[in-house]
Amino acid sequence: MVQTGVQRTFGPKLRHFLAGALRNRIRAFAAGAAVTVALQSSTATALMLTAFSAGGLVELAPALAVMLGANVGSSLVVQALSFDVTVLAPILVLAGVTLFRRWEDRPHDFGRVLIGLGLVLMSLHQFLALLEPLVARPGVSEALRVLEDYTPLVVAAAALLTWAAHSSVVTVLLAMSLAAKGVVGIETGVALVLGANLGSAINPLLEGGSGADPASRRLPLGNFLNRLAGLSVAMVAFAWAAPYAARLGPDPGRALANFHTLFNLVLALAFLPFLRPYADLIRRLLPSPAAEARPGSPIYLDPQARETPSVALALATREALRMADTVEGMLAGLREALQSDKRGPITRTQQLDDVLDGLNSAIKGYVLAIPSDLQQPADAARQTEVLMFAINLEHAGDLIARDLLSVAERRQSRGVSFSAEGEAELVGLVDRLIANVRLAASLFLNRDPATARALVAEKEAFRAIEAEGVAAHFQRLRAGDPRTVETSSLHLDALRDLKRINSHLVEAAAYPILRTGGELLPSRLKGIG
């Protein structure tokens, strides 16, 4: 609940925060620690960052720096939870339930975060309390003390427990509790902490990468290998390090918490200066297969062609048509999300928005790099058309991903459905938009004024359809249709945003042609133009 709430409340900001921090390794390290403290899990940070890295959004070396910071952040979570903070649990749950039930959007999702934190504190306290009578039994205590002579076995058991629990925090807190109660010695506690550090890297390694893409496994492997290297050095120096760990705190529990933090800090300091060569080593271990274009990577933008503007603009036009195909795919996903109660269509459609953003950035950078002194007047005009087409399609994609998918998410989270008439109305508009995307793509190629006028006519048609839809919606409200009442704001938001998407399609393809032909008035206001 904490991870979901944080990602829904701050998801885009987390992405921008990480993206801005990846410019140097120190800031990336600090960002990893901060995000992990927010998410309460280095595993969640690793899985999120693995997705970014696999998609080509971040470089491997700064991503490894983020993971070093994430491991330190996880130890800071242990430090916070090692104090008696269970008194906060009911307060957090109560505040979270209040926000969750009485507010919408971000306060609603932040309520989920507070509920999750409260439940985490309660469950950790109860988990450790339930273990007390178990570990107090003479036979169990003796068995645990026997394990002190089998340090590798203790490390392996702790790693497996951490992997199963998806959390190193649980294992380290358990080790601290056992050591504080005198059930295990400080040496066994250190072994449990070391195993927890290794186990936290197993989940991203098994779950974070795609089997078909070796590059997607580089970050999890790099994180696992530096954990393994730190563990190996610690095991070699175990006879000296374990007794020293007892001096790190006033009691065995605090000493283990401080050892956990110190271990991760030392490992970070050891690896941070060498991340570039280390990243190169990981790439050699997992080389990329024969180059295949990622969905968000350009296919046709040949840098050499920029010396011939007409050719370069033709290539940019081909690339821009891929954006039109992507918008069409997003609309198809939106249609499914409006009708379905499954999360899959929303997730897949949000991923297409990343593809759209990547193509838009690539096209803008390529077109603006065409030397202006080589361009003819017709080339300059086409350059503007390509830019306007790409920018407006990117805006249309943002409306789908940010606003319309939010309508679908809120409908699902509330457990409500549109009325049959309302759903048919929205789906019909989405289908009409898909047809208009195809019309805009055709117009972008053939530049036919008659087609441009037909697309502009769609703007008036959408305005009329929206007005009719709002009137019909209010009629259903007055009739007391329960589903219409439950989804009223969602339905009206969707109508408005679908009309805005159509306006971007008209602006993308029709207006530049009609403006060139002098067929557009300077203003739609009466008496002007």
Q: 404-429, pLDDT tens digit by residue?
A: 999 888 888 888 888 888 888 899 99
294 occurs within a structural domain: no
The predicted-structure confidence for 343-374, as pLDDT tens digits, reads as follows 888 989 988 998 999 999 999 999 998 888 88
The predicted-structure confidence for 15-28, as pLDDT tens digits, reads as follows 566 656 666 778 88
* Same domain as 445, residue 321: yes
Q: How many of the other CB atoms lie within 10 Å of CB of 447?
A: 16
Q: Is residue 63 pLDDT above 60, yes or no?
A: yes
* Same domain as 401, residue 281: no
524 occurs within a structural domain: no
Please name which of 181, 173, 169 lies closest in space to residue 137, comparing C-alpha atoms.
181
HSE, CB side, 13 Å, CA atoms: give it for residue 74: 31
Over residues 298-315, mean pLDDT:
84
Residues 393, 324 contacting (CB under 8 angstroms): yes
Residue 87 neighbours by CB under 8 Å, 6+ apart: none
* Same domain as 316, residue 179: no
Q: What is the pLDDT of residue 219?
A: 85
Q: Is residue 150 pLDDT above 90, yes or no?
A: no
Highest mean pLDDT among 166-175, 235-244, 292-301, 352-361: 352-361
Indicate the number of domains in the chain.
2
Select from 222, 256, 285 the last residue of a domain. 285
Confidence of residue 45 (pLDDT cuts 50, 70, 90): confident
* Same domain as 172, residue 37: yes
* Same domain as 84, residue 52: yes
Its domain, for residue 62, covers: 2-285
pTM over the 0.85 mark: no
Angstrom distance (rounded) from CA 516 to CA 54:
43
Select from 285, 316, 335 the last residue of a domain. 285
* Same domain as 253, residue 309: no
* Same domain as 403, residue 373: yes
456 occurs within a structural domain: yes
* Same domain as 312, residue 268: no
* Same domain as 212, residue 320: no
Q: What is the pLDDT of residue 64?
A: 87
* Same domain as 270, residue 323: no
* Same domain as 233, residue 127: yes
DSSP letter string over 307-350? GSHHHHHHHHHHHHHHHHHHHHHHHHHHHHHHH---SHHHHHHH
User: Residue 478: which CATH number?
Assistant: 1.20.58.220
User: What's the longest Cα–Cα distance across the chain?
Assistant: 95
* Same domain as 204, residue 167: yes
H/E element, 261 = helix 252-271
Torsion angles phi and psi, residue 144, rounded to 5: -65, -35
Q: What is the pLDDT of residue 208?
A: 60
Retrieve residue 278's tokens. 């280390």
